[in-house]
Amino acid sequence: MFKKIGPGVLVAAAFIGPGTITTCTLAGVNFGYALLWAMMLSIFTTIVFQEMAARLGIITQKGLAASIRKEIRIPWLRVVLIFIMLFAIVIGNAAYEAGNIGGAILGLEALLGVGSNSWFSWIIGACAFVLLYFGSYRSLEKIFIGLVMVMSFSFVLTAILTKPDLGKMFAGLLTPSMPKDSIFTIIALIGTTVVPYNLFLHASLVSEKWKSPNDLRAVRLDTLLSLILGGIISMAIIVTASAHQNIAIENGLDLAKGLEPLYGQAARYFMGIGLFAAGITSAITAPLAAAYVASSCFGWDKGLNSTKFRMVWGFILLLGVLAQSFRFRPIEIIKFAQVANGLLLPVICVFLLWIVNRTTTMGSYTNKRWQNIVGILLLFIIMLLGVKSILSVISTL
């Protein structure tokens, strides 16, 4: 079974980054178990659209960006979409990379019990560089399987240590509710899980591992198991944070420190290991996704050994290290990237639904009717997410 696990693990590792950990922490601290259902909905939505992206990748043996570029016949629309994809994914991931590296630093701080050190960002950047430069797809896959398993054990064991109320936990999971002032947290939970660059990343990665439509069953198994595991990790963070309701906690490091007095050093160490693993995986997948998107948009060789491919991820990784090292936060760039991603996600999902229904592209592997119905219903949720995301950013400009 483990031989069939691959690209889905990288996708799961990509969305369990510092942003997801912070959002899940705040959801648990502010609302207890009440928003577990929102995370379950997020995972279901992610599974539906990631399966479509993965199926497209294995049937066409191309990335999502390349398929969109090929299928869009109107020149101006093709140019606009390529521009939005490049801005949202490549520029956006460059802006977010400092936060990914910062998440790994929080994990080191929790483990070592020391304050932030300017060398931490360079150490983490060097680790990411070595893995991306010298690693093959298969080696990256094995490393990510290991890191996701580490995250799973770390966060789940931490949640168990807090001795959660199982009755309330299952009630929050199975009974949708919207406590006062929870709407933006619900949207944030969906937004940190259903992310545009994972659709591009997944469609490109499946063609690295599988080459035949006969492998579709393995692709679906990989997607289902990996994303469910990612959802369990996210829910474990919410459950852990629920033990600190109504206490001033803003991120994973605060939560790690807050656990120690009540649950001992083991809780802080488990949390620190999970934070580090989440940060380092996102610090690798964000540049990797940007390189795949740029390669697909410009028609470059997308191989990991391609010079242009390496230049893209290397540039993004360097920017992240420098920004984190000098405490530079490109707020305006991040805000515009958020707007671009808010616009991109529903647009890409519309085009994805359209492409996977085209027999000229997918042959006999087009969507079933139930997949279209579910996809359209979930698309409305994604559109709401996009509008809310854009409005929240515009209100701060």
Residue 110 has pLDDT above 80, yes or no: no
Residues 25-75 pLDDT 10s: 888 888 889 999 999 999 999 999 999 999 999 998 888 888 888 888 888
Predicted pLDDT at 136? 79
> Is residue 338's pLDDT more than 70?
no
Model confidence at 374, pLDDT cuts 50, 70, 90, reads: very high
Domain ranges of the chain: 2-336
Question: What is the Cα–Cα distance from 21 to 189, expressed in whole angstroms?
Answer: 10
Measured at the alpha carbon of residue 378, what is the angle toward residues 365 and 363, in degrees to the nearest 5? 10
Say which residue, 259 or 210, is predicted with more confidence. 210
pLDDT for res 54 = 93
Q: Which of 166, 187, 183 is nearest to 39 (CA)?
A: 187
Q: What is the pLDDT of residue 180?
A: 82
The better pLDDT of the pair 115, 194 is held by: 194
- Nearest of 53, 316, 74 to residue 204 by alpha carbon: 53
Of the candidates 159, 150, 161, the residue with the CA atom closest to the CA atom of residue 111: 150
Cα dihedral 101/102/105/107 (nearest 10):
-100
The pLDDT of residue 248 is 65
Report pLDDT for 150: 86
- Taking a C-beta distance cutoff of 8 angstroms, is the pair 55, 200 a contact? no
| CA distances in angstroms from 208 to 196, 201, 203, listed in the order given | 20, 11, 10
The pLDDT of residue 238 is above 80: yes
Summarize pLDDT for 308-332 with one digit per residue, the tens: 899 999 999 998 888 887 776 655 5
Q: How many residues does the chain have?
A: 397
| Phi-psi region at 264: left, alpha or beta (left = phi > 0; alpha = psi -120 to 50) | left
Q: Helix and strand tally (H, E) in the chain?
A: 18, 0
- Does 298 score more than 80 pLDDT? yes
Q: Residue 50 — φ and ψ, nearest 5°?
A: -70, -35
Q: Which of 112-116, 167-171, 265-269 has the lowest mean pLDDT?
A: 112-116
pLDDT of residue 108: 82
| Gap between the Cα atoms of 341 and 87, Å rounded | 9
Q: What's the confidence (pLDDT) of residue 194?
A: 84
Please name the fold of domain 2-336: Amino acid/polyamine transporter I (1.20.1740)
382, 346 contact by CB (below 8 A): yes
Average pLDDT of the chain?
A: 83
Mean pLDDT, to the nearest integer, of 191-214? 86
The string of DSSP letters for 305-364 reads: T-HHHHHHHHHHHHHHHHHHHTT---HHHHHHHHHHHHHHHHHHHHHHHHHTT-HHHHTT
Cα–Cα distance, 103 to 237 (Å, whole number): 15
Residue 289 three-state SS: helix
Q: Dump pLDDT digits (tens) for 247-283.
A: 666 656 666 666 665 566 677 777 788 888 888 888 8
| Averaged pLDDT for residues 181-206 | 84
Question: Radius of gyration (Cα) for the chain, nearest Å?
Answer: 20
Predicted pLDDT of residue 342? 65
**How high is the pLDDT of residue 347?**
82
How far apart CA 253 and CA 104 sit, in angstroms, is 10
- Of 75-79, 234-238, 331-335, 344-348, give the lowest mean pLDDT range: 331-335
Say what the pLDDT of residue 299 is. Answer: 79
pLDDT at 317: 92
- pLDDT confidence band for 365 (50 / 70 / 90): very high
290 DSSP assignment: H
Would you give the distance in Å from CA 360 to the centre of its chain?
Answer: 31
